[in-house]
Amino acid sequence: MSFHSEKLIAELTEMARNLRIQVVKMIYKAESGHPGGSLSAADIVTALYFHHLNIDPAQPHWPERDRFILSKGHAAPLLYAALAERGYFPKEELGTLRSIGSILQGHPDILKTPGVEMTTGILGHGLSVGVGMAIGAKLDHKNYRIYVLLGDGELDTGFNWEAALSAHKYHLDNLTAIVDLNGVQLDGPTNEIMPLEPVVDKWRSFNWHTIEIDGHNIKQILDTLDETKHLHGKPSIIIAHTIKGKGVSFMENKSIWHGRVPNKEEFEIALKELQKENDNG
């Protein structure tokens, strides 16, 4: 098992908080966007972009880089904040989210935004695209890895299960999927809209290495990502239990905050809470 220092965990925790603040600011300014699923995935995306992924922002097309696909494309503000922090484009661009002429579309666009690895937004594509990339990497005997972040509501669509079959067939141990299992989708709780449980058993029965973690525990996220690098013969999936709207009390676990924009008062409370979280350490 790999060792991750307290210092690293503290730095990443601080970065995740920073990304959450930027997400709320971007959505408030754009008057449009999806806060709930961006906030729930912030710790996962932070662990990937600020420690785990083998990437070089100075060379966004470096052939040996790891690839990350945000299949739950509505969490675009989170991805954009991470890419800007990593230096793929100037942070000032974040204020242009969803406005005409912006490089930051409502959902990720590979042709417009440096660092975006694949256009997504309509749910149910990312895992299949990741399967294709992972097959290609194996054909070329390359060591780079493919990471795909899925939503739990997204698992309603059968395309993910088609992808699951094919990833097993082709022994794609260079593919790691992560489910941001926040338990809430647009219309309500996932266990009401379309029950998914037992989700871990489902993936195991599809012959994937399936690991369950707390998706807000950065040390666990890092350890598990490292673990999946060393599992052979099968694709891996990390079922990350998260809280939709994490970090903003009135957004937490509320489906209404899947795609709602805070008003001025709510915006100020949200910022205060996210900043206070830091003060409490």
Tokens of 200: 């871990």
Burial call 234-247: b when 16+ CB within 10 Å, e when fewer: bbbbbbbbbbbbbb
**Cβ proximity of 64 and 144 under 8 Å:** yes
Q: Quick one: which segment of 43-51, 95-103, 135-143, 239-247 binds other proteins (CB under 8 A)?
A: 135-143
Q: How far apart are CA 56 and CA 76, in angstroms?
A: 20
Site string for other proteins, 62-101 (x = CB under 8 A): -x---x----------------------------------
Among 40, 24, 10, 19, residue whose Cα is nearest residue 272: 24
Q: Quick one: which segment of 78-86, 121-129, 186-194, 250-258 binds other proteins (CB under 8 A)?
A: 121-129
Q: Quick one: which segment of 28-36, 46-54, 161-169, 227-235 binds other proteins (CB under 8 A)?
A: 161-169
Q: Least distance from C-beta 80 to other proteins, angstroms?
A: 17
Residues 163, 181, 222, 237: which binds other proteins (CB under 8 A)?
163
Residues 31, 54, 87, 122: which binds other proteins (CB under 8 A)?
122
149 is a site residue for other proteins (CB under 8 A): no
Helix axes 6-30, 264-279, angle to 10 degrees: 170
Task: Tell me whether residue 13 or residue 71 sits nearer to other proteins (CB atom).
Answer: 71
Neighbours of 135 (CB within 10 A): 19
**Cβ proximity of 239 and 204 under 8 Å:** no
133 is a site residue for other proteins (CB under 8 A): yes
137 is a site residue for other proteins (CB under 8 A): yes
166 is a site residue for other proteins (CB under 8 A): yes
117 is a site residue for other proteins (CB under 8 A): yes
**Cβ proximity of 146 and 204 under 8 Å:** no
Q: Least distance from C-beta 139 to other proteins, angstroms?
A: 7
Q: Least distance from C-beta 73 to other proteins, angstroms?
A: 10
Neighbours of 47 (CB within 10 A): 27
Task: Tell me whether residue 170 or residue 267 sits nearer to other proteins (CB atom).
Answer: 170
Q: What are residue 185's DSSP bridge partners?
A: 188
Task: Tell me whether residue 95 or residue 132 sits nearer to other proteins (CB atom).
Answer: 132
Q: How many CA atoms lie within 13 A of 71 on its CB side?
A: 28
Q: What sections of 212-256 are H helices per DSSP?
A: 218-229
61 is a site residue for other proteins (CB under 8 A): no
Four-CA torsion 28, 34, 35, 40, nearest 10 degrees? -160
**Count of chain residues binding other proteins (CB under 8 A):** 30
Among 228, 245, 237, residue whose Cα is nearest residue 183: 245
Q: Least distance from C-beta 133 to other proteins, angstroms?
A: 4
User: Interface with other proteins by CB under 8 A: which residues?
Assistant: 63, 67, 109-111, 117-119, 121-122, 124-125, 128-137, 139-140, 159, 162-163, 165-166, 170
